[in-house]
Amino acid sequence: MEANSQRQPLNIKAELEELRRMHLSEVSQSTVNILLLGQVGVGKTELCKTARAPILIDSFDPGGTKHLGEEIKKGRIIVDSRYENEDSSHPQAYSTWEREFLRRREIGLFSQIGTYVIDSFTMWLEALKNAIAVRKGRAEKLLQLQDWQVMGNVLRDMVLLATSLPCDFILTGHLLLVKEEVSGRMIARFNTIPSLQVNIPLLFDEIYILQTEEKADGVERRLLTSPTGRYEARTRIGAHRFSLYEKPDIKYLLNKAGYPAEDKA
């Protein structure tokens, strides 16, 4: 009986130490996943270039990365823009993206990438919607209830895969202003189908809102990192470290939170 009482604390200590080791060894504990939200044209794609390089951007927004020419020439940013424009009667953007994403994941490409970006969720969603409508033969692309459920499940599964990559991940998205029924005030929501307004943000470590503020000498951009009455931002890596508003610089925030911020070779 005495021998058992001596072994039990040792076994518990060993198991707790093993759990701690497993947690620390997980790749996801040293990478960061960011849902970057803002109004159209506020500069979300521009902000992505402050992330860890090399930066791979799968661009669904037509012309959305044209202003990144210098960074692309330097090799800090690699853009796959084949998803930006497609024949709406024969949509291929989503199926092509999914095939390429899974292939790159299988061959270990993302271990050589500093940051992976999907820009933007809005057009990514639209590409999947078009693909499902054509596949199911929906007239005028009017999806049925079961189609929306499939679309939500597919996007959630793909975001889960992206957030488990061995690199940082940024998903850009847009905000939708809605009126609260009780208070009558306007609040900003993640612009997506209702079933994903909560489910997708839950998969991210960080939710940042990129905002602009007019100053006497021009327009200043800033990142909201914590919730307010109107916006649902949040940070896990910056808890007790980040201010309510931070400068729009991803590597700066990684440094401030004590996370790896250096580029990959």
- Domain residue spans in the chain? 29-257
At residue 19, the pLDDT reads 62
At residue 89, the pLDDT reads 72
Phi, psi of 44 (to 5 degrees): -65, -45
At residue 197, the pLDDT reads 87
Q: Which fold has domain 29-257?
A: Rossmann fold (3.40.50)
- Cα–Cα distance for residue pair 198/138, rounded to 1 Å: 27
Q: How do the pLDDT tens digits run along the chain, 265 residues long? A: 455 555 566 676 676 676 666 655 554 558 999 999 999 888 999 999 999 999 999 999 998 888 888 999 999 999 999 999 887 777 899 999 999 999 999 999 999 999 999 999 999 999 998 888 887 777 666 777 788 888 899 999 999 999 999 999 999 999 988 877 777 778 888 999 888 888 999 999 999 999 988 777 778 899 999 999 888 999 999 998 999 999 999 999 999 999 999 999 8
- Cα–Cα distance for residue pair 90/69, rounded to 1 Å: 30
At residue 212, the pLDDT reads 87
At residue 23, the pLDDT reads 53
Cis check for the bond before 54: say yes or no (omega within 30 of 0). Answer: yes
Q: How far is CA 94 from CA 11, 101, 116, 175, in A?
A: 50, 10, 17, 22
- Cα–Cα distance for residue pair 5/41, rounded to 1 Å: 65
At residue 20, the pLDDT reads 63
Supply 255's token pair.
């440094």
- Cα–Cα distance for residue pair 227/210, rounded to 1 Å: 13
